[in-house]
Structure 1
Amino acid sequence: MKRSKIRTLLFAGVAVLALSGGFAGWNYFTPPSHAAEGHGDSHGHEEGEEKHDEGKEEQHGHGHEDEHGHGGGEAEGEHAEGIIALNAEQIAAAGIKVAAVGPGKLAREVSVPGKIVAAADRMAQIVPKVGGTVTEAKKNLGDTVEKGEVLALIESREMAEAVADYLAAKRAEELARTTFNREKGLWDKKITAEQDYLTAKNGHQEAKIKLDLAKQKLQALGQDGEVSSNGNSRFHELRTPLPGRIIARELTLGEYVDTTHSAFTVADLSVVWVETAIAPGDLPFVKEGQMANVTGSGGKTEGKLIFVSPAIDPETRAAKAIIELENTDGKWRPGEFATAAIATSAQDTDLIVPKDALQTIDGKTVLFVRNDKGFEKRDVMTGREDSRHIEIISGVTFGEPVAVSSTFTLKAELGKSEAEHEH
């Protein structure tokens, strides 16, 4: 009984072993199609990933190259930005002047408003010396005249009487001189009496005195030339005592004029004055002989302070001052307003440039530095200033050449080139 159970258990174990061995053998000898396919899929995925990675690397490489290429373009653009390409001929044609940045003096200035007026010592109010009727006006408003030139003719009874008195005195002197010469000859020969000689001598002297008085009267009436009895003696010639331009005319043809009103005003405007007033607080610093920078509609120019009043005007509470300006080109006109900056002292400064050299671009102060291509825009920092110059703190160095005139032209050219670059 026990043996049959043992035998049954042995057969069952052998069967189990046979079944498990057959399954393993089948699994071992079956073609590995699914395993190969699985491995192929895995390899294909890896190749795809590699290709994808290569594509990413290639794309990244191209992107990096494009980025650098674009970045290089920006670098090149940045290098070109702010450059105005101009050759020497174009610079000269534009009137651009170049000067080196260097040391200079900045003035301490007293700035005051003023008014342009004709220089008092170069202006004449021409008033007739006799009353009469205007028969001819030879000059008009605005005409340029020379010293001694006739402006108008005035027919005057007073002049006619003065000429008649002169001519009568002249004839009387001639007659008295003839009588004196005859009596003197007779007296020398002891032919005539001494009393007759002395009477003739006294008569001649009196005639000379009357002639001199008549001549002086004519001169006082403006008659300096030869006087004749041809009928023109009744005319008074109104002449200008200085060269210049007629800036006022107060007579008309046929009008009666007298000796109390001006007929013409002539001014030499090659030199003009700026009348201004100095506040009491500034008077200790302002002296005659100092230079002043004057700005107005006539532009900018330099003048000289020729007068400072020693008294304070009770109405303005300031001292009158006069600045003299050269005006040969006639750009300063009497009556216009101006501003004067009187330089009272000066201070040494390391780097200065004229104010005309500076421009403002995008809210920044710039200079245009000369280089081999033309000019380069350079941002600068400024410091102290006066009416003509300004201190440069940073942005340029000693000796660098910069444009000091017509810089607005460079600003316009820069704006044009930047606009074209954006398009």
Structure 2
Amino acid sequence: MVVLSAFFAAGTALAGGHAAAQKPAVIAMDDGQIKLAGIDLTQAGAASIARRVSVPGTIVPDSGRVAHVSVKLAGSVAELRKNIGDDVAKDEILAVLESREVADAKSEYLAAKLNNELQQDLTARDKSLWEGRAVPEQQYIKSRNAAAQTEMRFGIARQKLMALGVTNEEIAGLPQAPDGTLRSQNVRAPISGRIAERKVELGTAVGRDNLETELFVIVDLSRVWVELSVSSGDLSFVKEGQSVDVTLRGPGETGTGKIVFISPLLDKDTRSARVVASLDNPDGRWRPGSFVTAAIAVEKRDAPVTVPFAAIQTVDGRKAVFVRTKDGFEARDVKLGRRDGPTVEILAGLAAGETIAISNTFSLKAEVAKPGDED
């Protein structure tokens, strides 16, 4: 970088004649030059460092968020309102079936409803007449028994419709519905999500007698599972509720999930256990079938001094960071401890609160490593 070279040349001149013949211990740069050179700064400080078990995994749908939409009656597909890939909301109509079975059930319900209403009116009249001594008690008892029977038949007819998938709202609207709609049955989405499969076409016969019964498969991918395989040796460190750092192989995207299940059984061939982590997926970037690497935090402790690992450079075979001084930067040898992802522990050479460079440090390293000019 031309700008950085000019800065370093100026710093060397400031160091003085004899110092110019040495490798610069301090690279002179003021705040304006640091900003122009694109060097970011941060302070060393305490952080939690974890030991992690790294295991392979696969993204799969959350089994509680997959719905197989099947028919409960025999009929044919009269209308398809959704196709593969479409987003759907819960209770949205996916398709319309035509069925003699549902037409018979609706007709039976309407007849039972009418008979029940008439018998209830007759029973109420007989009760009033009996109380006024206008009819014998035996007539009222007979009328009351008939009312109980018609009410029971009405309830059975209603339950039959519900068993066929007719909703309460649709049942309530049957008396006002046109006659031509009695044979129609709406197929609704049981969950919100996306159509992953559509297994029928218009006119397809569905239902019993070895016909297709499943119409759609809906998947809600707003949350997915990560299927992990953990060896028996590491299994004792893994607990439900632990956090998991998930990295997508290839693009390198990362996310954080939580372990929700640990199988009590080991695979007889691999001697590993199935572990499932739940992972939020609001933007759909975690696609089922993708291979991932998961890091499970099995042990945590607080480290008094930590820095971003990107700040570490190797200078003359030793690990070093560039510490901000009043004149610029000083290359400081450090002793590294445990690394946790992008963070590394510093055991010696740096104190908490000191400011260091965390980007464009390669150029600083190159300046420190340059041989000195001869007098």
User: 1:288 maps to what in 2?
Assistant: 240
Deviation per residue, 1:324-352 (Å, 9 max, x gap): 11222222111111111111112343432
Shift of 1:310: 1.7
Deviation per residue, 1:153-205 (Å, 9 max, x gap): 12222211211111111111122112212222221221122222112111111
Give 1:16-415 correspondences, 5 Å limit.
72=20, 79=27, 85-87=33-35, 98-224=41-167, 225=169, 226-228=173-175, 229-230=177-178, 231-258=180-207, 261-296=213-248, 297=251, 299-355=253-309, 382-393=336-347, 396-402=350-356, 407=359, 410=360
Letter in structure 1 aligned against 2:199: E
Deviation per residue, 1:250-287 (Å, 9 max, x gap): 22222223376432222222221111122222222111
Alpha-carbon RMSD across the aligned residues, in angstroms, is: 3.7
Deviation per residue, 1:8-57 (Å, 9 max, x gap): xxxxxxxxxxxxxxxxxxxxxxxxxxxxxxxxxxxxxxxxxxxxxxxxxx
**Partners of 2:25 and 2:311 in 1: CA distance:** 25
**Greater CA drift, 320-329 or 355-364:** 355-364
1:168/1:127 CA distance change after superposition, 3 Å: same
Higher relative contact order (CA 8 A, sep 6+): 2
- Structure 1: runs of 5 or more not aligned: 1-67, 418-423
**Partners of 2:354 and 2:133 in 1: CA distance:** 102
Shift of 1:368: 6.4
Shift of 1:77: 12
Q: Is the CA contact 2:28–2:329 (under 8 Å) kept in the aligned structure 1?
A: no
When you count helix as a share of all residues, which structure comes out higher?
1
Deviation per residue, 1:51-73 (Å, 9 max, x gap): xxxxxxxxxxxxxxxxx989849
- TM-score norm. by structure 1 comes to 0.69
**Partners of 1:202 and 1:178 in 2: CA distance:** 13
Letter in structure 1 aligned against 2:174: V
When you count strand as a share of all residues, which structure comes out higher?
2
1:223/1:144 CA distance change after superposition, 3 Å: same
Find the residue that maps to 2:245 and give its secondary structure.
strand
Deviation per residue, 1:226-258 (Å, 9 max, x gap): 324512122221111222222332222222233
Shift of 1:364: 8.3
Find the residue that maps to 1:87 and give its secondary structure.
helix
Find the residue that maps to 2:96 and give its secondary structure.
strand
Shift of 1:208: 0.9
Shift of 1:308: 0.9
- TM-score norm. by structure 2 comes to 0.77
1:300/1:359 CA distance change after superposition, 3 Å: farther
